[in-house]
Structures are given as structure tokens and as C-alpha cells.
Amino acid sequence: MNAGKRLFGNELKYVKEVLETEFRSSKGSMMTSRLEAFFAEKFGTRFGIAFVNGTATMHAVLEAHGIGPGDEVIVPPLTMSATTFAVLQANATPVFADVEPDTFQISAASIRERITPNTKAIITVALYGLSPDMDPIMDLAREHDLFVLEDNAECFLGTYKGRKVGTLGHAASYSFQSSKHITSGEGGMVITDDPELADRVRKVQSLGYAGVGASKGKITKADIQDPGYERHVTMGWNYRMAELCSAVALGQMENIKELVGIRQKSAEMFAQAVAGSNWVVPQRTPDDCVHSYWTFVVKLEHPDHSWHTVRDALRANGGDGVYGAWQLTYLEPMFREMDLLRRERFISDENKARYAPGLCPVAEDLQPRLMQFKTNYWDLSRAEQQAEILARTIRELS
């Protein structure tokens, strides 16, 4: 049982197993394969393919789907920039769609406006742990023959209209970076039901090996030993997850319900603290969604108090774990200066000109006013204390 700790399951036992088998599959070190199978089973998907992180996952899926120079991929600008980096890594063009003012999720109406003959895919992000409104997005995808990748780095066990987030698009990506619901320090996973896509994702994840496939991560020994063996049927990026990391992630996954539950309970305390305030407005969770609360986020609407005033008042009261939202990706210096490690040569002048203030007015209005509260309090009494500090600070500033 969890007693105020994050790594309370079989993590150490599995790490020991990997070390004792000296990383050799011949001695039974199959931790990554076990993690992949366990993860896929939890989500009820056919395939799970483990990665070094939750950015490589998305790059590989785009590559596997055949996305490249000249192709446009629609992404939200209000998210961790890895969503956009994956598009750039595939030499494609990120096109930014605006977000909803209450759920902060990518807006189907805005996506519709951004679709051009060059659009090939949409990456939705379950921002802060809540699903976007996926039905109208999937309708658009069907109408325009677009591929949909869910970036669920921040969402484990969330649901949308009773369905698991991660099974709504054509593939989904997860991150095991240290701030996420489950962690192995670094790591990631792709899940999908599509066998052909899974096979290509696996080949990109390895080094384009002939001998790997949707559910097979390693080349057979007899093949490697054969001097006539032709290994590489395509190019790959060598994005495989390390066995030691897989050991930790598997131990974490076995306790996923509890690890998510802790964040949901922390969020509930913060929600109570802000209830009734007319200037601290929490992210709206639609009735038909279960939020997994990677973080609890509010929009500040006080006419006089700035984000920094509120943060300073919280701090003065002993508040901790407060973050601002990321800058909108297209307003980062990399776009302003057009330094995309020479990928800028794949982006048309027309698209380049769009990376400027005014592109996504709702997101631009929201971003400076969002305040994120961490929810990973393995000791819930600390969450309770932080929620009380938030309630007191709101009273003082109202």
C-alpha cells in the first residue's frame, strides 16, 4: 500500500530481475515486452510499443504514418511544446488551432477552419488530464481522411463519454517523464489497434529492423547470427525504452489506479477551495468526462490582481507547487526567430507568417491567466494543507 510514497509496488523487484538477468533476453530479461503487453491490456488495445520518451513516440507515429515535408499537422498551441516538436522532427508543418475558453482543450471548430488540402493529421492533447471533445474531431477526421494521434502524456485513466481516453483516435502516445501519473524517470508508450501502423511504428522505434513487428521488439538470435541476414528494411530512430526503465514503469502501471486516484483526490480538495469564488475559475470538466488531473488548473479573472500578485500572496501564506502555463508554442523564440534546426525550409512562407500574435486569440487570452497546482501529493495531508492555503488566499484577495 501507498504510505506517502510514489514507488511503493514491485518497481525494485523488477529492477533486480533485470539486473540479475544481465539485460539478456536469453536469460529472461523481457521487461519491455511485459510492460508493452500489460499497458495495452489496461487500455484494451491490441498493441503497445514502448519508447524512450513521450516525444519520440509521437515523432515515430507521424513517420510511420508517412508524414513528411509539405504535410500539415494540426496541433493546439496551449500544451507542452513536445507536441509541436514531434511534427517538426518529422519535417512537417505545425498548424495551430485555437482552444475552448472553458475546458482549455483544442477546439473542433478551430480545427475545421485550419484544414487545407495539405492537412494530413491532427494531434489532440488531453490537456492537464482531461479529454478534448473528441466526437466532432473524429467526424472531421473521417470527413477529410485525417489521421488522429492522441497526445495523452498528461492523461491516464481519463474517460470521454464512457470510453477510455487513448482509444478515441487512431493511436495514442504516453509519457513516463518524472512529472507524469506514472514514471520511470523517462519513457513513453504508443498504443493502437491498427496492426499495420503498429508494425511500422515498431520499425521506426528500432533501427528499421526486418525482424521486429507490432508485438515483437527484438530480432531473433538465429537471424542476427546469419551473415546473410538483411536487417534493415527501412530507416529507424532507435527510440527503444531501456529494460531498467521498463521495470520501473511496469511496477508503476500495476498501481495506476491508486496513482491516478491520489491526483484526483488532491484535485477535489483544490476544487473545494475555489468553489464559490467569482474570480478563480477552474477548468470545466464536462459531465460525460472523467478527469485524471495531471494538474489542477484555474483561470484567474480578478480585475485588479495579476497572476504574480496571486502567486506572491499564495507563497506568503506557505503555498507551494504553483506553475504558470507554458508560453503558447508559436510565440516561443524558436518560431519568432525561425530557428527550427533548418526544418524551417520545409514550411511555406504563408504558414511561417501565421506564427504570430493573433493566431489563436482564445489561447492567447488564457495563457497568461492560467494557474496550475500540482496534484502529485503522495501524502494527501500536504494536499489538504495546500488547498487550505489556497482558500485562505482567495478570501484575503477577494
Ligand X SMILES: Cc1ncc(COP(=O)(O)O)c(C=O)c1O
Q: Which residues bind ligand X (CB under 6 A)?
A: 53-55, 79-80, 82-83, 125, 151, 153-154, 175, 177, 188
Of 60 and 198, which CB lies nearer to ligand X in the complex structure? 60
Of 266 and 277, which CB lies nearer to ligand X in the complex structure? 266
The radius of gyration of the chain's CA atoms, rounded to the nearest angstrom, is: 22
Closest approach, Cβ 307 to ligand X, in A, equals: 20
Of 241 and 390, which CB lies nearer to ligand X in the complex structure? 241
Residue labelled with grid coordinates 531501456: 242
Closest approach, Cβ 231 to ligand X, in A, equals: 27
How many other CB atoms are found less than 10 A from the CB of residue 32?
27
Nearest to 323 by CA among 132, 186, 155, 179: 179
Q: Kindly write down the DSSP assignment for every residue of 40-102, as one continuous string.
A: HHHHT-SEEEEESSTTHHHHHHHHHTT--TT-EEEE-SSS-THHHHHHHHTT-EEEE--B-TT
Q: What is the C-alpha separation between 262 and 228, in angstroms, rounded?
A: 54
Closest approach, Cβ 20 to ligand X, in A, equals: 28
Of 247 and 391, which CB lies nearer to ligand X in the complex structure? 247
Closest approach, Cβ 328 to ligand X, in A, equals: 14
> Letter for the amino acid at 37?
A
The cell for 237 is 530512430
Q: What is the C-alpha separation between 35 and 38, in angstroms, rounded?
A: 5
The cell for 31 is 521487461
Which residues, in sequence order, are bridge partners of residue 94? 73
Q: What is the C-alpha separation between 39 and 345, in angstroms, rounded?
A: 38
Of 279 and 326, which CB lies nearer to ligand X in the complex structure? 326
How many other CB atoms are found less than 10 A from the CB of residue 309?
13
Closest approach, Cβ 131 to ligand X, in A, equals: 13
What is the β-pairing status of strands 119-125 and 147-151? parallel
Of 86 and 387, which CB lies nearer to ligand X in the complex structure? 86
Of 89 and 177, which CB lies nearer to ligand X in the complex structure? 177
Closest approach, Cβ 395 to ligand X, in A, equals: 32
Closest approach, Cβ 188 to ligand X, in A, equals: 5
| Sequence-ordered list of residues with C-beta below 8 angstroms from that of 227, at least 6 positions apart, any chain | none
Of 53 and 91, which CB lies nearer to ligand X in the complex structure? 53
What is the β-pairing status of strands 289-290 and 280-282? unpaired
Nearest to ligand X by Cβ — which residue? 54
Of 87 and 310, which CB lies nearer to ligand X in the complex structure? 87
What DSSP state is assigned to residue 120?
E
Which residues, in sequence order, are bridge partners of residue 172? 150, 191
| Sign of the alpha-carbon dihedral angle for 90, 93, 94, 98 | negative
Closest approach, Cβ 207 to ligand X, in A, equals: 20
Closest approach, Cβ 252 to ligand X, in A, equals: 14
Closest approach, Cβ 151 to ligand X, in A, equals: 5
Of 82 and 325, which CB lies nearer to ligand X in the complex structure? 82
Nearest to 128 by CA among 283, 271, 270, 6: 283
What DSSP state is assigned to residue 23?
T
